[in-house]
Amino acid sequence: MSQSRSGVLYGFGAYALWGMMPLYIKLLDESGPAEILAHRVVWSLVFVLGLLALSRRLGRLRTVGRRGFGLLALAALLICANWGVYIWAVNNDHVVETALGYFINPLVTVLLGVLVFGERLRWLQWSALGLAAVAVVILTIDYGRPPWIALALAFSFGAYGLVKKKADVQAVESLAVETAVLFLPALGYLVVLGAMGDGDFVSAGWGPSLLLAVAGVVTAVPLLFFGAAAVRVPLTTLGTLQYLTPTLQFLLGVLLYRETVPPVRWFGFALIWTALVVLTAEVLVRRRRERRAALDRLVLDPTTAAS
């Protein structure tokens, strides 16, 4: 199998698993969101440390400098907030709104690029952001409140991505540091919960306990697939595949969990989808122009190929 084909399969697997995450979270709805989050942190650390030990990469954790550790500590707080909101939303029947958050996320990433890095946008990118802003206003009117779940997920994950990019640490090592930062508070919470007799891990039987324990696998496997895809296919391909996650979440919310989507909400989603089409088209056209310009330079100055 070619590198590009295997990369697409890895990417598809990562985004599909993330898209089906509500199925797993719903199985844990007897547990509180905080308990699920704490188990996700604890078992993720156990799993990734095991992976690093088996691959003899534990020593790489020592190469994370003070600056990298500081950035990953901030990333840990952001992903903790993201996971917490997501778990609460899924188990309180807001799966469709979580999908909205991850549809908005690429647009938020563009906005953060402007606000944080002072990037200059092209008119198509401004058009996409304008459509998204109108959609948020419409959805606010429809919900009777701002779509805070979607906005919290989009901004926390967008900021998380920016911080991780700055940290420049490999995916598994990064997750190990992030979960290590959160480990003691998470473990302390679970110990207190167990001592009070309220923890499902001890009292709810082996079925729920096993489901909580596999949280590490559920968290790490899509991340490993994503890491394998990222080194095999262009980012534009991954950027297109990323819409699989909110699409699956949206379908689960509407078709499986029967969450209501009034006509006005459909219109708001349609504006978001239109904005994403505009944003994706802008990226693809720009990449094509850049490749064509590079080819033209090569034809005009063939000595660069020989140098």
Q: What is the mean pLDDT of residues 86-94?
A: 95
pLDDT (tens digit, 9 = 90+) per residue, 114-169? 888 787 888 888 898 899 999 999 999 898 999 999 999 999 998 988 888 888 88
Residue 301 is predicted with a pLDDT of 62
- How does DSSP assign 45-90, residue by residue? HHHHHHHHHHTT-GGGGGG--HHHHHHHHHHHHHHHHHHHHHHHHH
Residue 306 has pLDDT above 60, yes or no: no
Residue 19 is predicted with a pLDDT of 95
Residue 303 has pLDDT above 70, yes or no: no
Phi and psi at residue 94, in whole multiples of 5°?
-125, 40
User: How many other β-carbons are positioned within 10 Å of the β-carbon of residue 260?
Assistant: 9
pTM of the model: 0.86
Candidates 69, 54, 91, 79; CA nearest to 152 is: 79
Candidates 2, 19, 27; CA nearest to 247 is: 19
User: How many other β-carbons are positioned within 10 Å of the β-carbon of residue 59?
Assistant: 8
Q: What is the mean pLDDT of residues 210-221?
A: 89
Q: What is the mean pLDDT of residues 254-269?
A: 94
Domain ranges in the chain are 3-299
The CA distance from 253 to 9, in Å, is: 25
Q: For helices 3-19 and 244-251, give the axis angle rounded to 10 degrees.
A: 40
The CA distance from 21 to 218, in Å, is: 8
Share of the chain above pLDDT 90, in %: 48
